[in-house]
């Protein structure tokens, strides 16, 4: 069995405040794009997870944790060999690890003939990571709580997206980014609610995109300012941060704009992609 694991963008991301459980309360609109990892599953005597990035082999990979959690919930032995082919850059705010885990849950549900519903899988996903549950559905969705409560929205039509991934990572990135937020950065979720209404009406307004981390990302990631300065005049629509960064995206875009951005970033080590939005995941059963 071969299954894709799509990356995501945050079209809106607001933090409402601290929760009693130590997490943050968020409101975010998420969108899958067709930049994807691939999981190859084969029968095996036990659980084995490998990746073409050897640092993500074994129990260091969220796929391992997903397989183990699903096997425990279904009272089966985790017998499978999974190889993860990485195409989604790691540590960019694109949700690659979470998407891999969600795709593993969906694929293993079929591979092991468990017959669990997407709702059943979502309960397992919530314990693996805040945004794992979203990838069970994909497409366009509102996530709330700490990110695990999912409401599917009217899907965006297919449209091209320029994606920039700087060669710029920091340890414990998500925790670091959240540590910079102050109560002044917290909001009431109104910006996300308005975007949700617009999307539900079948419209899309690029000016409505918002990410609370953008204020801090250009201070935390040293190379981001230079990249943004190089590309800001290349396209009519602004670039926005995805998740906690440092990936930037421009939606919608064109192939000509992609070429201009690629040329502008040639002197840098940033990777530039022309990708597209994708709709909800179709599950069997």
What are the boundaries of each domain within the chain? 2-152, 160-276
Give, rounded to a whole angstrom, the gap between the first and last alpha carbons of the chain.
Answer: 16
Active site residue 8: yes
For the stretch 4-19, pLDDT in tens is: 999 999 999 999 999 9
For the stretch 63-89, pLDDT in tens is: 999 999 999 999 999 999 999 999 999
pLDDT-based confidence at residue 283 (cuts at 50, 70, 90): low
Share above pLDDT 70 across residues of the chain, in percent, rounded to a whole number: 99
Q: Supply φ then ψ for residue 28, to 5 degrees.
A: -145, 140
Instruction: Supply the pLDDT for residue 168.
Output: 83
pLDDT-based confidence at residue 282 (cuts at 50, 70, 90): low
d(CA 168, CA 223): 7
Three-state DSSP string of 54-91? HHHCHHHCHHHHHHHHHHHHHCCCCCEEEEEECCCCCC
Considering the domain 2-152 in this protein, what is its CATH number? 3.30.230.10
> Looking at the domain 160-276, which fold is it?
Alpha-Beta Plaits (3.30.70)
| 109-143 burial: b if 16+ Cβ within 10 Å, else e | bbbbebebebebbbebbbebbbbbbbbbbbbbbbb
Residue 58 has pLDDT above 90, yes or no: no
d(CA 258, CA 167): 18
Catalytic option among 8, 37, 100, 173: 8
pLDDT-based confidence at residue 198 (cuts at 50, 70, 90): very high
Nearest C-alpha neighbor of 10 from the set 88, 87, 91, 93:
93
pLDDT-based confidence at residue 224 (cuts at 50, 70, 90): very high
Instruction: Supply the pLDDT for residue 264.
Output: 96
For the stretch 145-191, pLDDT in tens is: 999 999 999 999 999 999 999 998 888 999 999 999 999 999 999 99
Catalytic option among 52, 53, 120, 131: 131
Active site residue 151: no
Residue 22 has pLDDT above 90, yes or no: no
């Amino acid at each position: 069995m071969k299954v894709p694991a799509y990356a995501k963008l945050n079209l809106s991301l607001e933090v409402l405040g601290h929760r009693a459980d130590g997490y943050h309360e968020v409101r975010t609109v998420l969108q899958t794009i067709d930049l994807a990892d691939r999981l190859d599953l084969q029968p095996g005597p036990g659980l084995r997870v490998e990746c073409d990035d050897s640092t993500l082999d074994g129990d260091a990979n969220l796929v391992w944790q997903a397989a183990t959690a699903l096997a425990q919930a279904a009272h089966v032995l985790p017998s499978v060999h999974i190889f993860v082919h990485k195409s989604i850059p790691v540590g960019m705010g694109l949700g690659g690890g979470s998407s891999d885990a969600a795709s593993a849950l969906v694929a293993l549900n079929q591979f092991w003939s468990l017959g669990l519903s997407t709702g059943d899988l979502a309960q397992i996903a919530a314990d693996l990571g805040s945004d794992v549950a979203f990838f069970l559905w994909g497409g366009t969705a509102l996530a709330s709580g700490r990110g695990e409560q999912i409401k599917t929205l009217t899907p965006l039509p297919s449209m091209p997206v320029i994606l920039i991934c700087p060669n710029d990572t920091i340890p414990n990135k998500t925790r670091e980014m959240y540590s910079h937020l102050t109560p002044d950065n917290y909001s009431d979720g109104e910006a996300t609610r308005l975007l949700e209404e617009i999307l539900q009406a079948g419209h899309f307004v690029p000016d409505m995109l918002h990410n609370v981390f953008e204020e801090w990302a250009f201070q935390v990631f040293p190379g981001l300012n230079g990249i943004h300065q190089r590309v800001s005049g290349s396209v009519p629509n602004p670039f926005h941060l995805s998740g906690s960064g440092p990936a930037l995206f421009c939606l919608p875009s064109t192939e000509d704009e992609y070429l201009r951005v690629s040329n502008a970033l040639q002197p840098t080590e940033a990777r530039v992609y022309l990708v597209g939005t994708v709709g909800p995941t179709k599950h069997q059963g």
